[in-house]
Each structure stands twice: as structure tokens, then as C-alpha cells.
Amino acid sequence: MTYRFRDLLALEPLTADELRFLLDQSKPFQEIQRHPLKKLATLRGKTVALAFFENSTRTRISFGTAAARLGADTMNLQAEASSIKKGETLLDTAFNLNAMKPDCLVMRHSASGAADYVARHLDIPVVNAGDGTHEHPSQGLLDALTIRDRLGTIENLNVTILGDLLHSRVARSNIHLLGKFGCRFTLCGPSIWVPRELEKIAPAVPIRCLYKVEEALEDAHVIMMLRVQTERLNDPPLSANDYILLYQLNAERLKRAHRDAIVLHPGPINRGIEITPEVADGPQSCVLEQVTNGVAVRMAILYLVIAGASEGGAHPA
């Protein structure tokens, strides 16, 4: 079965079959990362516009690398050096980028729904690279690919997400994706960051909120750590020392999880705050695998929205 994607704005509307197709399309691109020559001509002559209105390191470089490895050129816009600072509207900026005739727009913005808003006004594919506290689709996909590689499945797992859930688009994308495969979620962190309403963000997905990290880690197959997003907070609810005492993932607490549990983190990691170096660098950590898999997933996304998979055709990798 081949699926067509006009844009990739969120994972919530996608079916389990569509999500599985995206993961399967990413798999051959993983092999490319292991080759001495990592260049394909699949998107030669195409241009990908990267418009990041929020700071980004991994996602921006990963999408740029994915485009280059597919043979595409890139146009880069970063908000701090753009006309947004001079009062230009988001839509006018998008129209000006579109007038330069790129073949796809990859966009990150601090406002939830911004990518969808722009997509409704452009005639080129738009890929959401993170919008406010809504979703981060490519991160959800690369997390799922990493889990499937390590554990052999993404079905019927116990997933604990630990940290600042209130502001996390990564958590939402993972819940919407993994929830379609029968996964059960435990959300844990300070009560102000883990409101009970989060238990209802994905109908039919088992979600519970807990506030004691030791209880939340019991029998977890997957532990997703989240960064404390100080840039979205006026006043953190806990001091750094209290957060470490109550919620830091260390080797002793990790023992409460399933013996084959894996640890994920979307980065950037605040070592010594939400996670200790021995866990971040330990054998159960998948942090660097996530980064590598991010390039493969984003290659698949760009390939599918720009070129589209052909019925019965060979995968470009």
C-alpha cells in the first residue's frame, strides 16, 4: 500500500497504517547513513525552504542534512535575522519565500497551529517542524523508529513520559502515534506541568498522571525524558535542586523500570538536571540513535511530500 501526503502537519489525524508506512519508508534511508557516500539524486533540482521562527539545532540541521542527502538545495530563514523583526507578518514572510519557488517549506514556530495556517495559503507542501505546544511530527516518528529498532515493536508498550508535559509538543506527538499501536502512557512531573486534562488528549488511549517518579517508572518499557522548557516558563514551580531530588532519572530509579527498558530524550539534554550522565551515556540510552534516525525519518518525509512514493516502484534508497 502506498500513501500520498500533501503536507505533514500532525500525527493525530494519521491512521496506524499511514504511520507504519512512514516508518517503513524511513527504514531504507537508515542504511544510507552507514554508507561512506551518503548522497542520492532523488530530489536533484528541488529546493527545500527551512523557515525556523524558533531556535533549533538538531531539527534544523537534521532537515538540512536530509535535504542535502537527497540531492536537494536548501534556503534558510532564521527568525532573528529575518524581516519578522521589522514587523513583517508570518503570512507575508511565507508568501515571499514561496515566490522564490521552493518545492517544500519546513517550518518551526512558537504558535500552535502556525504550520497549518501557512499550509492553507500555499500551494507547496508544508512540513511542521514543531508548532508551539501542539505537535512535533518528525520527532514522534524518529522516536517510534528508534523504539521499534531497539525493542522490535511499538505495540502494547508501557511508556512513561517524565518532565514538563504541559509545554511538550514531543509528548503529544508520541502519544498520538504510539497510542494507535496499543501503548499505555504514564505522565509524571510536578503537578502544575502534568494537569489531569492530559489524560483525555487522545481518546481511547490509556493515559494516567502520576506525581511520584518511582511509581511512574514501574514496569516501563520506554522512558521519555523531557527538558525543563525554561523559555516557556515565567517561574519554574521547583528549584533546580528540588527537581533533581524529586524527578531526576538516575541509575537507581531506572532499576524500577522493565529490565530491557530504553531511555529517550529529544534534546537538548540538561545533564545533571533531568537526567544523570551515567544514564544519558549508558547502555539503555537511545539519545544519539534518535539523532541518527532523525535524518532518515526526515529524508523519508521530504521524499514523500515532494516526490511521492510510486505504486510498485523501487524505493530510492
Question: Residues 157, 282: one domain?
Answer: yes
Question: Residues 146, 257: one domain?
Answer: yes
The sheet with strand 47-52 has its strands ordered as 73-78, 47-52, 104-109, 126-131
At a CB cut-off of 8 Å and minimum separation 6, what does 83 contact? Answer: 93
Cβ–Cβ under 8 Å, residues 315 and 25: yes
How much is the average pLDDT of 32-55?
94
Find the catalytic residue in 34, 85, 86, 259. Answer: 86
Find the catalytic residue in 108, 148, 172, 298. Answer: 108
Question: Residues 62, 78: one domain?
Answer: yes
Question: Residues 152, 272: one domain?
Answer: yes
Q: Which domain holds residue 68?
A: 16-135+293-311
Question: Residues 77, 150: one domain?
Answer: no
Residue 86 confidence class, pLDDT cut points 50, 70, 90 = confident
Residue 240: per-residue pLDDT: 87
Q: Compute the distance between CA of residue 126 and CA of residue 128 in angstroms, rounded to an integer.
A: 7
Residue 2: per-residue pLDDT: 81
Q: Evaluate whether residue 113 is within a structural domain.
A: yes
Question: Residues 187, 80: one domain?
Answer: no
How much is the average pLDDT of 61-72?
98
Over pLDDT 90: what percentage of the chain? 85
Q: Evaluate whether residue 8 is within a structural domain.
A: no
- Does 86 qualify as catalytic in the annotation? yes
Q: Compute the distance between CA of residue 262 and CA of residue 150 in angstroms, rounded to an integer.
A: 8
What does the pLDDT look like over 182-208, one tens digit per residue?
999 999 999 999 999 999 999 999 999
Give how far Cα 10 sits from Cα of 114, 183, 211, 254, Å: 12, 19, 28, 31
Angle formed by the axes of helices 16-32 and 287-302, nearest 10°: 110
Tally of structural domains, the chain: 2
- Does 108 qualify as catalytic in the annotation? yes
| Mean pLDDT (the chain, rounded) | 94
What does the pLDDT look like over 261-316, one tens digit per residue?
999 999 999 999 999 999 999 999 999 999 999 999 999 999 999 998 766 668 88
- Does 46 qualify as catalytic in the annotation? no
Question: Residues 157, 239: one domain?
Answer: yes
Question: Residues 104, 235: one domain?
Answer: no
Residue 231 confidence class, pLDDT cut points 50, 70, 90 = low
The CATH number linked to 183 is 3.40.50.1370
- Which cell numbers in the block locate residue 296? 532518515
Question: Residues 300, 286: one domain?
Answer: no
